[in-house]
Amino acid sequence: MKKKSESLEKKININFKNKRLLDQSLAHRSYLNEHPEFKLGSNERLEFLGDAVLEFISSLLLFKKLPNHPEGDLTNIRSCLVRTSTLAEIAKGLDLGSYLLLSKGEEDLGGRENQSLLANSIEALIGALFLDQGMDIAQKFVLKLIRPKLSEVIKAKKFKDPKSLFQEAIQAKKKITPQYEVVEESGPDHNKTFTVALLIEDKLQAKGKGKSKQEAEESAAKAALEKLENKS
């Protein structure tokens, strides 16, 4: 474990004062079931804190960098920066999956490549860094990670997510707001898969799957958008 955390410190070029915080940020809750000697707890509380720190730093970046964009655009751009798929890409760029502390079962299920798990882990790492070194260092770390992603989002105009795009398209045609319903949940609590149905006036338009409800809703909206485009 010590070797793993030291290797990660070298990769991110940051030395933690409290190594226990770094170790905890890497610990998935499944690991605790097989390693009762690990007394630090899982990374879930650090993930909660890191999520808030990430949102604040990304909000401040967008407010300063995009003075001519309205609030709606800023909200959508921020959503692109902090959503599961983007954070998972960032985590993969750091090879964070190889440093995680997982149960054998979670590892066998492909936990080191699981998007939701990777996204949660980068948030936990940010939370641990904030507690250990304060906002200035945490901000430098986060900005280094998200600035390249921001350039991609702006250049490709990706900041309108599938849900927003579908809602705009359907409201322009029918003045109706789409509804999303979870129709199935499968898998263990720590690795659920959600299936969501997208409905218009109680009629099924598309279904989507994901490791979170948001991810499943976006998948359903993307499928519905493709149907609309094929009809036009």
Which positions are annotated as active-site residues?
51, 123
What is each CA distance from 47 to 41, 131, 181, 218, in whole angstroms? 12, 12, 27, 22
Neighbours of 118 (CB within 10 A): 24
Q: If we measure between CA atoms, which residue out of 77, 94, 89 comes closest to residue 161?
A: 77
Using CA atoms, how far apart are residues 98 and 117, in angstroms rounded to an integer?
A: 12
93-103 CB burial, b ≥16 within 10 A, e <16 = ebebbebbbbb
Residue with tokens 């960032």: 90
Using CA atoms, how far apart are residues 194 and 183, in angstroms rounded to an integer?
A: 8
166-202 CB burial, b ≥16 within 10 A, e <16 = bbebbeeeeeeebebeeeeeeeeebbeebbbbbbbee
Neighbours of 20 (CB within 10 A): 13
Asked if 48 and 126 touch (Cβ cutoff 8 Å), the reply is: no
Q: If we measure between CA atoms, which residue out of 101, 82, 98 comes closest to residue 90?
A: 82
Q: If we measure between CA atoms, which residue out of 164, 146, 153 comes closest to residue 214?
A: 164
